[in-house]
Structure 1
Amino acid sequence: MDEFVYNLLLKSRGGLILFGVLRYRLSSLEADQGGDRNVFTLPALRQAHHQQQQQQENIFALVYRAEGTVTIPLLTGNRAIPVDDVAFFIQMGPPIVTRLFADDSRVLMCFNQVNNEQIGGGLLWGPINTSFGLLGKRQILPACWASGKSCRLDGSSA
């Protein structure tokens, strides 16, 4: 799938406003993936599945692996923090929720698609879990960018 790039606006409870960039891709989640990273081994999802079995109707969801990077210059410097986890879809359309986290730097992001160009959600950062509200606007990259060629300012290939 294509890479999604969002310019981020983050705001803390104390009024601190930060800017950043989120880049990520979606890929299929293999059914035979095991271990701690398997989304279906999470206790909350097992409990939700148990409660769903007691209901009459079922809602089918698709789960995709989401992998990318987040850069927030005032927090990360110029370093891009790798993040990954899952995106949940119901039938066709944008994901209902995407969750990304990084084990080493304690970053947790969770966001929803507002429309085709905007996301909204939250971000927890660092050992003290500083929380930020998150808004993002999608950047549409020129076709030459996806092909790996150098691009001119007008979007044409060099």
Structure 2
Amino acid sequence: MDEFVYNLLLKSRGGLILFGVLRYRLSSLEADQGGDGNLFTLPALRQAHHQQPQQQQLENIFALVYRAEGTVTIPLLTGNRAIPVDDVAFFIQMGPPIVTRLFADDSRVLMCFNQVNNEQIGGGLLWGPTNTSFGLLGKRQILPA
């Protein structure tokens, strides 16, 4: 699939405004992952999933899951280095992903965002070393073919 590039505007609760760039690609997720390689990889998510009361399920919503891999660069936090991030994007039916999660291996960057429309994303970013949270808005940059 093509690479998505977004110019980011990040704003903290204290009014700090930062700019950055997010680049990522979507690829298929292997369906035959075994063991702990499923969607409930975080212990809190796994525990919440298993603690749900047993009830009759009335409807099913089928989701497609794609691996999302890329980099995020926020010059005032990362310098000119690009921090590698990856996780998953969830799709239902047709259209853009309903939610995309991206994490850095060293937990420096945790981000989650939704498509606002075809050109914009909105969500949040947690910067690990300082534990600072930011509101995130992104505008898609169309690259020449």
Structure 2: 5+ residue stretches without partners: none
Aligned 1:34-113 pairs, distance under 5 A: 34=34, 36-43=36-43, 46=46, 54-113=56-115
CA contact (8 A) 2:20 2:75 kept: yes
Shift of 1:126: 1.9
Which structure is larger by alpha-carbon Rg, 1 or 2?
1
- Cα 1:118/1:76, change in 2 over 3 Å: same
Shift of 1:112: 0.2
**Residue deviations 1:103-145 (CA, integer Å, cap 9, x gap):** 2152100000000000000000023320000000000000xxx
Instruction: Tell me how many residue pairs correspond in the alignment.
Output: 143
Shift of 1:43: 4.9
Shift of 1:92: 0.5
Query: 2 CA distance for matches of 1:124 and 1:64?
Result: 22
Shift of 1:6: 0.1
Task: Confirm or deny that 1:7 pairs with 2:36.
Answer: no
Query: 2 CA distance for matches of 1:35 and 1:75?
Result: 36
- Cα 1:113/1:48, change in 2 over 3 Å: farther
CA contact (8 A) 2:110 2:128 kept: no
Between stretches 122-131 and 86-95, larger displacement belongs to 122-131
Query: 2 CA distance for matches of 1:54 and 1:123?
Result: 36
Query: 2 CA distance for matches of 1:124 and 1:41?
Result: 19
Query: 1 CA distance for matches of 2:60 and 2:51?
Result: 11
Between stretches 22-31 and 37-46, larger displacement belongs to 37-46
RMSD of equivalent CA atoms: 2.3
- Cα 1:48/1:104, change in 2 over 3 Å: closer
Q: TM-score, normalised by structure 1?
A: 0.81
**Hey, which of these two has a bigger chunk of helix by percent?**
1
CA contact (8 A) 2:26 2:67 kept: yes
Q: TM-score, normalised by structure 2?
A: 0.88
Percent identity, aligned pairs only, is 97
Query: 1 CA distance for matches of 2:45 and 2:30?
Result: 17
Q: Which structure exhibits the higher relative contact order, with contacts defined as CA atoms closer than 8 Å and separated by 6 or more residues?
A: 2
Shift of 1:48: 6.9
Query: 1 CA distance for matches of 2:41 and 2:56?
Result: 20
Shift of 1:16: 0.3
